Chains A and B, each alone.
Chain A
Amino acid sequence: MAATRFAAKIAGMTKASGVFRIGTGAGFSSDRLDPAVDLARRGELDVMVLECLGERTIAFAHRDRMADPRRGYNSHLERRMRALLPACKAAGTVIVSNMGAANPRAAAEKTRDIARDIGLTGLKIACIEGDDITALVSPATPFMDEPGTVADIHRPIVGMNAYLGADAILPALEAGADVIIGGRLADPSMYLAPLIARYGWRDDALLGAGSLVGHLMECGMQITGGYFADPGVKDVPDLAACGYPIAEVSADGSAVITKLPKTGGRVSAATVKEQLLYEVHDPAAYLTPDVTADFSRVDVKEIESDRVRVTNAGGRARPQRLKVTVGFDAGFLAEAGVSYAGPAATMRGRLACDVVRERLASVYGIDTNVRVDLIGASSLFATAGASGNDSEDVRVHAALRTTDREQAELMLWEVESLLCCGPAGGGGFRGQITAAVETKSLLIDRALVKPTIEMLVS
């Protein structure tokens, strides 16, 4: 991976002060767009990553694609690309994204069409495929971290995707892509690949350092003050105008996490530490397709206001097998609610819950995979056994998982019947039935997974 092989685009980067600047312009499928446009315009970025895929997001995307072969990619892709392509092109910023979800091809073609439509000709859009490995997995394949095999789930499979690493993304960078779109690109790998392209990293410790940058950045504002504010103990300035993060990464693997001036939010040792171990189990062994990263000795230091330096990540050999997410059709989730307020609202709400439970069981035989909570008294922490003080504004919330649409509809009907047949003063019925998916994880030999790249030009 000699530096001479890099496309001029990446090799010529490192704009400001000898560091490589990567920004996050989305940290989940429904993340905000306006702060991403601000970052694209003012951030002087080398790369902007749009991370838009979770385990369930991709399963729902497969369902979308089954319903319409032209869909199955992120539903905000068109809005995002229309807003970001001009600014990123003007700034020479490469976009890397997994917005392709279950249909990277359609996402890349849509992006090319948008580029043409807004007058950006000659834009190179790399489409990465090969993560959909449904044809490669036998029904006898065991699940990861739990008993059972694929064959044990007697529900239709909606899709299977292997997590692709930096090695799947690198050739697109070397070929000079302006936009790189894939499906199940692993979150940290979208950050690591440009760093490998820029700095030629091969050592596991450096791959671990680059993966730390990706891990810290991949959830967007969760490191700049989003998902952090707790008034009185953890205040965040101007949360409504929170800015997306920027990582200034040096050749030695150290990085400074920061954000644009004149944006809301904050970057502090505390915001960085909360994200450091977000969704991490053993801090010394964080597995990615690229490396077994070690975050256990990472140092976190505030060097200026809204600038935090992270150093000392480590790494060991990458796992031999790649993680795969399998999605199954799981029928429906039905939810319905009615509210009570004023004196003795909690007592009236509890009575309503009892009536719903009793009648679902006795009239409809619905007594499994159903739950009735009283929001305001006991809901999120009901199983944990913690409940707050009696509230004078509560809401019955019933939830049912079923593969039988009829049962889902009957549950909604029963809750709505509280309006005339339940305790006094109930109001505000709402009910909805949504499609449900079940996801499981398994492992596949990485030699079986063969990513491909095709370059589209607008």
Chain B
Amino acid sequence: MSVPGRNERRLVRDIAHARAGDKGNTSNINVWVYDPADYGLLKRTLTAERIEREFPNLVRGKVTRYEIDHLHGLNFVLRDSLEGGVNASLNLDSHGKSWSYLLLGLTLASDA
């Protein structure tokens, strides 16, 4: 467990939980670590830039990250990320409720 790069196959879901909500065509996703010791790793793993880079076809607008340090959590606001929003989307999940698991499915940043 102590070799460098051990986190390469581990997912955000292994250290954190999340919930997604929608307003218009904007999704927000809050993410919280189970163990405060993992908060630094979460912050290194989930940056606004990485989310924009991982899902360029879905997230068409800017991603903003709010840090709630005393509760060890992050809140992401993803503009233009709901395929038009609940009124226009043809996705079965037109609210993007499942987007929380897009973030939880990303691999953790390396500790090395």
- Using CB atoms and an 8 Å cutoff, list the residues of chain A in contact with chain B: 56, 145-146, 227-228, 230, 233-234, 270, 273-283, 296-300, 330, 369-371, 373, 375, 379-386, 397, 399-401, 436-439, 441
Q: CA of A280 to CA of B19 in the docked complex: distance in angstroms?
A: 11
**Would you call B91 an interface residue if the criterion is a C-beta within 8 Å of the partner chain's C-beta atoms?**
yes
- CB neighbours (8 Å) of A400 from chain B are 90
Q: Is the CB of A369 within 8 A of B66?
A: no
Residues of B within 8 A of A397 (CB): 92
Within 8 A of A (CB), among B58-77: 58, 64, 66, 68, 70-71, 73, 75, 77
B39 within 8 A of A: no
Q: Give min CB distance, B52 to chain A, whole Å.
A: 12
Dominant SS at the B interface? Answer: mixed
Please determine whether A283 and B58 come into contact, CB atoms closer than 8 angstroms. no
Q: Give chain B residues whose Cβ lies under 8 Å from the Cβ of A437.
A: 87
Identify A283's interface contact among B18, B57, B68, B99, CB under 8 A. Answer: B68
The CA of A227 and the CA of B88, in the complex, are separated in Å by 24
- Chain B nearest CB from A312 CB (Å) reads 10
Nearest Cβ in chain B — how far from A225, in angstroms? 13
A146 touches B24 (CB 8 A): yes
Q: Could you tell me if B30 and A270 are in contact, using CB atoms closer than 8 angstroms?
A: no
Using a CB-CB cutoff of 8 Å, which residues 16-33 of chain B contact chain A? Answer: 17-19, 21-26, 28, 30, 32
- The reply to whether the CB of B98 lies closer than 8 angstroms to some CB of chain A is yes
Given contacts A145-B24, A281-B23, contact A383 B91 (CB under 8 A): yes
Contact residue among B28, B32, B55 (Cβ-Cβ distance under 8 Å from A280): B28
Q: Which residue of B lies closest to A273 (CB)?
A: B32
B57–A273 touching, CB < 8 Å: no
Decide: A383 and B88 in contact? CB cutoff 8 A.
no
Q: Decide if B88 touches A401 in the complex (CB within 8 Å).
A: yes
Q: CB < 8 Å: which of B19, B22, B24, B87 contacts A330?
A: B87
